[in-house]
Chain A
């Protein structure tokens, strides 16, 4: 026995995998979810099946260099085919679990893609769906969600739960409208929005890090505070001086030469307002910062095991403070989308709960900036789809598509699809 335990081979020490037989448990969650979706597909596409062709178009007005032909789809046939594919994939997923193998991510993605395309076809039966308009609109609607999710990731990675994304968005929206109106500079408006988001973060940080107030409580209360404050100032100040304080010029839309000429993707991604390009930068910066830099390593360490960080000389409170604040600045800039990034003027509660969807994206995206971005895109897509479909007069009530992000999030936090793991010390104050 003594000889079995050698210097440092991990495999020879107690509890390691090679010395003991593993009893692997089967996890049936994914096949069950697959099954449910297959049944839903069967109900929608077959029991309530629709006939006719759905036409997907890929033309954008401005910058077409390469013409992508329209794609007509036979809805009834495609619905049956997709349901069959989903059923087969469900059976295969059962086999995966039986053989105690992990279901790969691409498999989940493929399943979702098939059903999504089929759903689009089903919903547009007999009509035309402009795919580029849909995707471009989805991207635009995702902007505040992505900024919000990035800020949330920055905050939560450092161990501070950020319920206050909503308040930060609202503050950013308000301030950017006022500053852009009064200075005439959209850049100043964006910067001011970031500062506003950061100020909200300061309050969150001060109460939760310095005074150890429960972070969820601070978040909920701060959201009410920001809502009350912006409503109050809107009603008293902005309505009295609408021209000087609340008539900002919206950010211009411009196409990036070259990139915007790429078929389909180009007009969607590279013919947008400035704030969208800022967003691309923000995604890259947060990702790089968190995973490739010294600062990021330290932020993640205080979010995972603050005491360990403390013992190697990292100032936990200040790391958290700045991470939360930086996150707040990002969210604040995202808030500018609601005013100068789209309609221009500020109105009461203009963020209307998008902050909570951003929070949902943080969780659904597993506290990872890239995945959270994709989650936000999905939610933005659902929102855009809802308005596109209501134009088409689709059979799906718009409320159900609006609900989608929230339902998906509950499914995600319930661990029914995939599993996401919060940072180890998320939500937990650090007492030195």
Chain B
């Protein structure tokens, strides 16, 4: 890029200023794509380095120029164009990845979970010394540990076949849905950000802000239920939106990278709420930093299994998010900025404005997860740990759901099942619940790296990408740069 220094610095400086000078990712995108374009001699040449994409594009490239007087140009007219921002490619890879990869990633993760169960299971370990004498005993012990664990997971997360009545047997699923509710809401919030190429890692802080505000209204304002719940929920949306909006405004005005800002805001919210819980929000007479319990009028009505009106709200939120991203002008702007901020800006879409709005929307969804925690889950008073790790888990849910509202919905339910089942696993089989964290993170790691999953399962790669991978670079130059 040094080559352009003396001439076009202003353009770049300006662009960087707008997109965020300190924003490593944003800037790399701009420069990266620009460099690729330049190297290809100007235009019309595929330099997108992602092998898979290249092939896909190459094979689908629309026949272009008319056949006759075809000269050198035509070589390249065949080749697709548009090197694209890295984040955009990444987001698309996530959005368009195949269902098979998702399923296989879940399988790999469960296998890894099984290995963990086995190596930490004392019965199995006791049997190992006799492996050569009595291999069947070892295998049986392995089978018992893994089978028992995953059976408990199923029993606790989906359907308890030990129960006689259907209503009792299905109760675990309802339980799972109640765990899924905040994951879905927060996951959609994070996913909306991803679609606009904004990495909102601040779910924790936004949940704390939203949850604390909702929780405060829930215990401090005596209102009829018909008003109390809506007001508390709206307060949570506002709280989350403001917490996220701060990061959005900082990014838009100074170019600070939102990942750093939102991580830092998580801790700031954590300590700020911790401080408030030692005085203004503190439950009278308590020595612990915990708030008074929510008034009954503010508690989400629901079943004994824990499923409540919050889930219905989340279904509505998913429908809304789906409309927002696919059918609304605002979603159009989000996606345009996410996929090509330069083109969006030239098309009159304010990247800064979109950055702020995306963060606000994202934070509002996450804020609802906070409200759910204090009005639907733990209504006996909140602490500054009310987020229960959902802010971070929501990131993995969003990735698993490939940043699409309905995908996130199902991903959230899967994680809800894991969580509800995990508790049963811990109680019934003594398998620590944290194994769920391992399984979840492994799923997402593999989903993010389809070639790895394909390698493990010896799946054919889409297209013969090896050759095409190379095709991208030299790929013949087009363009008449002078």
Complex: how many Å from CA A213 to CA B448?
Answer: 6
Interface string of A204-227 (1 = CB under 8 A from B): 000100011110111011111101
Q: Complex Cα distance A260/B451, Å?
A: 56
Q: Are B250 and A410 in contact (CB under 8 A)?
A: yes
- Please tell me if the beta carbons of A416 and B438 are within 8 angstroms of each other in the complex: no
A353 and B260 CA atoms in complex are apart in Å by: 13
Say yes or no for B396: interface residue by CB 8 A criterion: yes
Cα of A218 to Cα of B395 in the assembled complex, Å: 11
The interface residues of chain B lying within 8 Å CB-to-CB of A425 are 28
Q: Which of B259, B263, B432 is in CB contact (< 8 Å) with A231?
A: B432
Q: How far is the CA of A412 from the CA of B430 in the complex (A)?
A: 46
B460 in contact (CB, < 8 A): no
Q: Would A422 and B24 count as touching, CB distance under 8 A? A: yes
Given the known interface contacts A222-B441, A397-B278, A426-B24, the answer about A235 and B432 at a Cβ–Cβ threshold of 8 Å is yes
A-side interface residues, number (CB < 8 Å): 58
Residue of A nearest to B289 (CB): A399
Contact yes or no, A400 B437, CB < 8 A: no
A416 to B441, CA, bound (A): 36
Q: Chain B 380-413, CB within 8 Å of chain A: the 1/0 string?
A: 0000000000001101100100000000000000
Q: Is B440 an interface residue (CB 8 A)?
A: yes
Query: Binary interface profile of B, 227-254, with partner A (CB < 8 Å = 1, else 0)?
Result: 0000000000000000000000010011
What is the CA–CA distance of A407 and B269 in the complex, to the nearest angstrom? 11
Contact A228 B260 (CB under 8 A): no
- What is the CB-to-nearest-CB distance from B45 to chain A, in angstroms, rounded to a whole number? 15
B32: Cβ under 8 A from any A Cβ: yes
Beta-carbon nearest neighbor of A429 in chain B: B86
Write the nearest CB–CB distance from B182 to chain A, whole angstroms.
17
The smallest beta-carbon distance between A224 and chain B, in angstroms, is: 4
Q: Which of B108-122 touch A at CB < 8 Å?
A: 116, 120, 122
Within 8 A of A (CB), among B396-436: 396, 399, 430-432, 434-436
Residue of B24, B49, B250, B271 touching A427 (CB-CB under 8 A): B24
- B interface residues (Cβ-Cβ under 8 A, vs A): 5-7, 21-22, 24-25, 28, 32, 35, 49-50, 86-87, 90, 116, 120, 122, 199, 201, 250, 253-257, 259-261, 263-265, 267-268, 271-272, 274-275, 278, 392-393, 395-396, 399, 430-432, 434-438, 440-442, 444-445, 448-449, 451-452
A/B interface sample: 28 pairs, CB < 8 A: A211-B452, A216-B201, A216-B259, A218-B448, A220-B201, A221-B441, A221-B445, A223-B392, A224-B396, A225-B437, A229-B116, A229-B437, A232-B116, A232-B434, A236-B120, A240-B122, A399-B271, A399-B275, A400-B271, A400-B275, A402-B267, A406-B267, A409-B264, A422-B22, A426-B28, A427-B28, A428-B25, A431-B49
* Partner-B contacts on A (CB < 8 A): 13-16, 161, 163, 203, 207, 211-214, 216-218, 220-225, 227-229, 231-233, 235-237, 240, 307, 353, 356, 359-360, 363, 397, 399-400, 402-403, 406-407, 409-410, 413-416, 420, 422, 425-429, 431
